[in-house]
Amino acid sequence: MKNLKFNLKFIINIIIFISFFSTIEAKNSKKFNEAEDISNYFSGIVSINENEYKKSYNFLKPLSGLEDNHYIYSRFFQYSLVTLNKFSDAISYSKRLENKKIDNFESNLISALYHLKFQRYEKAERYFKKLEAKTQKGTVHHLISNSLNNWLKLTSIKNLEDSIKLLEETPERFTNIKNIQKTFLHCYFDSPKTDQTFNELTANSDVDYSRYFFFHANYFVTKNNYKKASKVLENSLNLFPRNLILNQLKSDLESKKNFTNQFDCKNPSHIIAEIFYITASSLSSQGKLASSNFYLSLAKYLNPNFVSFDTLQAENFYNIEKYKTAENIYRKIQNKGSVYNWYSTKRIASILIEQDRKQDSVRFMNSKFNEIKEPSIYEIFDYAVFLKNNEKYKDAIKHYSIVLKNIDKDHFLYAKTTDGRGVSFERTKQWNKAEKDLLNSLSIEPESAYVINYLAYSWIEQGKNIEKALDMLKKANKIKPNNGYITDSLGWALFKLENYEESKKYLEMAVRLMPYDPVVSDHYADVLWMNNKPLQARYIWNHVLNFKETEKKLKKKVERKLLFGLKI
């Protein structure tokens, strides 16, 4: 799989390289007279594509001047500068491009934001106009340039009604962002309807506006109305109890310390930074991480005291397995408040596991949890989940039990906690307790496909309640179609009921969904044997022996099957 990913990356990079070089005029490409220059340019582009910004900068910087004949170079060099937070260099480079009359969208954007941040609005306006002139309606670039222009005009427009009219030009596909900006406009003008517009925005159940409860509460904080701020937080956390930015604000209010995320809706720079965050979040969800990180860096430039921007950037690097870079950001976030500290601790522990440092991860998590003087229910729950996932089942049971002693059945953690403790009981061979917990979990969340699967599969393995387990697994399969584990369990239930022909259909599908899972493959080999296909069964069993994840106990069973066949 890793080789496949590498080959795909290599092919993509070659295509990018060829397409970019096709824009170079051969007679003017003096920078490419030497093999080293070509190598540096190609490596710089590949590094950007792989989100290695420091490497990209080091490769591209020696090619200064290439922008005279190659437009793409300047764009990628600016991406490197901005994402490395070299804003002074990025601003100077943008000015140089302007002097050469070869400026681009990124250079105009950087220059505009520089002047905006220092409230030089007339100078900023000149670049904003150039931005808008160079963008096509309906594109992300147009949304950005349109939004920037609108917020700049606010510095001269003195009434809310005229300002709202500006938003009508926002393309329909960006309606959600228009609604957010409209709410910020009310906040900017300190309209009597500010509270109402925030309520209207966050009441829209069709879109996840949970983040904007923070800005609503923050609005009251800036007016020193802590009672209303707390009320907004209380209502929002009932809906989104694990929301990171909301919980940190609640912690800040309770501790009466400086606020971790600082935002002023009367500061256009802060609002534009949030627009960049929205853009970055959308690009991140599409896998366009270089662009996402570029806009996140611009957001941080405009509002450096907003930790929420760092959390998304850390996630971007984590998701592409740039673990060292992600860890560095998480380490920085750890110092930004108790809630961010715990969040970052969990992510760093996950990184250590991804790096095959499980024992280091366990020690790190244990140490950090023990530092908390009075851990919350959520922190105890998270710790229990971590222990369970790392096979520390007895300790997991202990901490799950603490959670259950402090919540009732109406608490949203109840089903998750009984599920986790049930799994831990099952792994420590305390089946009666496990069964009780899993049934309790399902009594609260009867549509939880994974809990249904775990309980039903456990029954099948024990040879009990097979018919009931089969019905439950059919239900789980409808809830989560094409899930490898559930499909495997359903096929295995049919196998136990000696319906080998139908069982083969599901187990074959499970193998397609999870081709490298040793247990799934073993099940499939078993059903092949029972369908009079011994050669194919032995072929699959041999594969099971070669899987890295195959446990010793399963290997011994498979070795016996290879010698003597399957004996029911």
Identity at 398, one-letter amino acid code? K
CB 396 within 8 A of CB 387: yes
398, exposed or middle or buried, with CB in 10 Å at 0-12, 13-18, 19+? middle
Answer for the pair 236, 243: CB distance below 8 angstroms, yes or no.
yes
Q: How many Cβ atoms are within 10 Å of 129's Cβ, its own excluded? A: 15
Establish if 232 belongs to a structural domain: no
Q: Taking a C-beta distance cutoff of 8 angstroms, is the pair 55, 43 a contact?
A: yes
State both tokens at 252. Answer: 């800040």
Q: Residue 187 half-sphere exposure, CB side, CA atoms within 13 Å? A: 30
Answer yes or no: is 24 within a domain.
Answer: yes
Instruction: Give residue 55's domain range.
Output: 1-103
Dihedral angle, C-alpha 357, 517, 490, 486, nearest 10 °: 40
Residues in the chain: 568
Tens of pLDDT, residues 416-456 = 999 999 999 999 999 999 999 999 999 999 999 999 999 99
Instruction: Give the model's pLDDT for residue 465.
Output: 93
- Domain termination residue (choose one: 62, 86, 103): 103
494/461 Cα distance (integer angstroms): 12
Residues (pLDDT < 70) of the chain are: 1-35
130 token code pair: 């150039």
> How many Cβ atoms from other residues are within 10 Å of residue 93's Cβ?
20
- Give, for 223, the enclosing helix (H) or strand (E): none
Q: How many domains does the chain have?
A: 2
Give the integer Cα–Cα distance in Å for 75 and 87. 14
pLDDT at 548: 87
- State how far the alpha carbon of 296 is from the alpha carbons of 78, 203, 323, in Å: 14, 27, 18
- Asked whether residue 231 is domain-assigned, the answer is no
Q: Residue 543: which CATH number?
A: 1.25.40.10
- 3-class DSSP state of 8: helix
- CA distance linking residue 278 with residue 272, whole number of Å: 10
The answer as to whether 55 is a domain residue is yes
Q: Give the C-alpha separation, 215 to 80, whole Å.
A: 31
Nearest to 128 by CA among 147, 155, 101, 156: 147
Angle in degrees, 0-180, between the axes of helices 160-167 and 175-188, rounded to the nearest 10: 170
> Rounded to an integer, what distance in angstroms lies between the CA atom of residue 68 and that of residue 74?
9
Between helices 160-167 and 140-153, what is the axis angle to 10°? Answer: 170
Q: Which two tokens stand for residue 138?
A: 């309906």
Residues 6 or more apart whose CB falls under 8 angstroms from that of 103 comprise 94, 97, 130
* DSSP for residue 446: T
Residue 296 maps to a domain = no
Q: Is residue 48 part of a domain?
A: yes
Contacts of residue 310, Cβ cutoff 8 Å, sequence gap at least 6: 300, 329, 332, 333, 336
The answer to whether 495 and 530 are in contact (CB under 8 A) is: yes
The confidence score (pLDDT) of residue 195 equals: 97
Tokens representing residue 566 in the block: 């399957």
Q: Render pLDDT for 370-393 as a digit per residue (tens, 0 to 9).
A: 999 999 999 999 999 999 999 999
342 Cβ contact partners less than 8 Å away, ≥ 6 residues apart: 368, 372, 379, 382
Q: Which of 60, 80, 103 is the last residue of a domain?
A: 103
Burial of 568 from C-beta contacts in 10 A (0-12 / 13-18 / 19+): exposed
Rounded CA gap, 396 and 380, in Å?
Answer: 10
Last residue of a domain, one of 68, 83, 103: 103
In a domain, 202, yes or no: no
Q: Tokens 């809310």 correspond to what residue?
A: 160
**pLDDT for res 135:** 79
User: What is the CATH number for 46?
Assistant: 1.25.40
Report if residue 39 sits inside a domain. yes
